[in-house]
């Protein structure tokens, strides 16, 4: 089947290669000419494991092509997936301008009735409004389906081909059955609902996971004060299948392009609906506070931070991605620079100098050794394998007193690190 994917961010691109792999003929469209040019030349602008190979393979076999939205005079497919961004506005609400723009273009260029499938994360009730504002006035009777995505950056292809579930929300059975059929190669439970419920499922999923993280971070903070060890606590509670062990890794908090934005948006949606979602507010506050912990430890251990040499290992919001959106590293580096510390930072794939102008005063190094050389303290902000598997005996030789390590992701072995001579601090790992 001919399918158009509008919006070539990581969700759109993964959807494009996923559906191309199932044998569909995909045209990926974007308003950004540079992105399109890069893809046409088989170059990637995001780092996602395995994506480049699949883009190349499907482009070669003729199942995948890219173009700009402007270049398309009419839409000749039956289905259009929309995967444009819905970024946070300053009041926390989701900015829907890209979505509205996309729908206007689709309606304008349609030459026959379409099934419009929205993958973008949008507030519950958006689909209903889009139908009233644009689709009911259109020349053709288009169907609207909400099909939220649950892809994790860094393992997005795995999540596409082996998802936990597929959610399809539509207000008519024909459209939901039609879209379910596109996923027939994929083995996963399909949850069918109305549009608004599907939209809410997406927010509830991300907000629940963020809540788990903030909850365990608070237990970790309390463990630090009482002498309990968070690793043991998690081991003890996660045997209970009602709790489960996932998303209970304590640390310096969640970041990325999804959790922070979606939790804020759900809080905003609650407020405008006259409901104060107290739990969500706490989740946000705990997360904001969590990333300050390394700075509090450094102040406590070293006094004034002015002139102190701090090595930051990791810029990406999590391993296996080059995404630094709302990464804890950004705030930590900026605050330390504000206190006059000398920062050297390194990430295996993020190049701080090119992408992130606010880091101007930090020095971006090409490897771990340059970063830790002469450092008084090291902060591990992203749990890349390269850092977890480092020869910490060797690292110690490069550092200077007081040889502090703050393990912001609780991935190092505290006893070993202390035995080497470092002063180890994890999050809730008092031992
Ligand atoms: C998240 C969801 O997991 C996906 O299901 C969803 O599709 C996606 O958002 C989205 O809405 O697009 P992602 O942001 O890629 O995926 O990353 P996660 O692996 O969920 O991690 C998010 C953040 O939580 C990271 O900063 C990670 O370090 C942190 N985290 C995760 C913890 O601090 N502790 C944990 O136990 C797990």
202-288 and 291-425, same CATH topology: no
Query: ipTM score of the complex?
Result: 0.98
Query: Closest Cα to residue 129, out of 114, 146, 115?
Result: 146
Tell how far the Cα of 188 is from the centroid of ligand 1, in angstroms.
21
Q: Is the CB of 131 under 6 A from ligand 1?
A: no
Cα 210 from chain centre:
12
Query: Closest Cα to residue 4, out of 115, 149, 144, 169?
Result: 115
Per the CB < 8 A criterion, the answer to whether 102 and 6 are in contact is yes
Residue nearest to atom 13 of ligand 1 (CA): 152
CATH, range 2-193? 3.40.50.720
**What's the pLDDT tens digit per position in 291-306?**
999 999 999 999 999 9
Q: Which fold has domain 291-425?
A: Rossmann fold (3.40.50)
Q: CATH class for domain 202-288?
A: mainly alpha
Any idea what the Cα angle at residue 263 is, between residues 262 and 264, rounded to 5°? 90
Burial class (CB in 10 A: 0-12, 13-18, 19+), 262: buried
Of 150, 215, 258, 314, the one to substitute when testing ligand 1's pocket (max ligand atoms within 8 A of C-beta) is 258
- What b/e readout covers 77-115, taking b as 16+ CB neighbours within 10 angstroms? bebbbbbbbbebeeebbbebebbbebbebbbebbeeebb
Q: Is the CB of 283 under 6 A from ligand 1?
A: no
What are the boundaries of each domain within the chain? 2-193, 202-288, 291-425
Per the CB < 8 A criterion, the answer to whether 176 and 170 are in contact is yes
- What does each C-alpha distance from 179 to 172, 174, 192, 378 come to in angstroms? 11, 9, 10, 50
What band does 430 get if pLDDT is binned at 50, 70 and 90? confident
Residue nearest to atom 21 of ligand 1 (CA): 254
**What's the pLDDT tens digit per position in 195-223?**
999 999 999 999 999 999 999 999 999 99
**What's the pLDDT tens digit per position in 360-396?**
688 899 999 999 999 999 999 999 999 999 999 999 9
Average pLDDT, the chain: 95
In a 3-state reduction of DSSP, which class is residue 348?
coil
Per the CB < 8 A criterion, the answer to whether 92 and 267 are in contact is yes
């Amino acid at each position: 089947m001919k399918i158009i994917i509008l919006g070539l961010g990581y969700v759109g691109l993964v959807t494009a290669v996923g559906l191309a792999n199932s044998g569909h003929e995909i045209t990926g469209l974007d308003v950004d000419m540079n992105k399109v040019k890069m893809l046409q030349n088989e170059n990637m602008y995001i780092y996602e494991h395995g994506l480049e190979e699949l883009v190349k393979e499907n482009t070669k076999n003729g199942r995948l092509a890219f173009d700009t939205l402007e270049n398309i005079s009419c839409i000749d497919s039956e289905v259009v997936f929309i995967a444009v961004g819905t970024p946070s506005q300053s009041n926390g609400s989701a900015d829907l301008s890209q979505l509205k723009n996309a729908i206007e273009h689709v309606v304008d260029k349609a030459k026959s009735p379409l099934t419009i499938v929205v993958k973008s994360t949008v507030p519950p009730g958006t689909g209903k409004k889009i139908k009233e504002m644009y689709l009911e006035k259109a020349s053709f009777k288009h169907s609207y389906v909400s099909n939220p995505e649950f892809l994790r950056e860094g393992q997005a292809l795995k999540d596409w081909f082996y998802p936990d579930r597929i959610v399809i929300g539509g207000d008519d059975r024909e459209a939901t059955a039609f879209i379910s059929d596109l996923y027939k190669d994929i083995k996963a439970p399909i949850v069918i609902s109305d549009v608004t419920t599907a939209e809410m499922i997406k927010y509830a999923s991300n907000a629940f996971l963020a809540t788990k993280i903030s909850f365990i971070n608070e237990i970790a903070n309390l463990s630090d004060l009482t002498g309990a060890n968070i690793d043991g606590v998690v081991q003890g509670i996660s045997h209970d299948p009602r709790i489960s062990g996932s998303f209970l890794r304590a640390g310096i908090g969640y970041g990325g392009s999804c959790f922070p934005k979606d939790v804020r948006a759900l809080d905003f949606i609650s407020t405008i609906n006259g409901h104060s979602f107290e739990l969500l507010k706490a989740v946000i506050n705990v997360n904001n506070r969590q990333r300050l912990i390394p700075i509090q430890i450094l102040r406590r251990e070293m006094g004034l931070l002015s002139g102190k040499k701090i090595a930051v290992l990791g810029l990406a919001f999590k391993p296996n991605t080059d995404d630094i959106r709302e990464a804890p590293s950004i705030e930590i580096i900026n605050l330390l620079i504000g206190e006059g510390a000398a920062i050297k930072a390194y990430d295996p794939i993020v190049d701080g100098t090119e992408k992130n102008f606010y880091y101007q005063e930090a020095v971006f190094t090409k490897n771990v050794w340059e970063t830790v050389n002469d450092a008084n303290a090291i902060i591990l902000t992203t749990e890349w394998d390269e850092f977890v598997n480092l020869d910490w005996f060797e690292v110690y030789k490069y550092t200077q007193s007081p040889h502090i390590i703050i393990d912001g992701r609780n991935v190092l072995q505290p006893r070993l690190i202390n035995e080497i001579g470092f002063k180890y601090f994890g999050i809730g790992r008092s031992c």
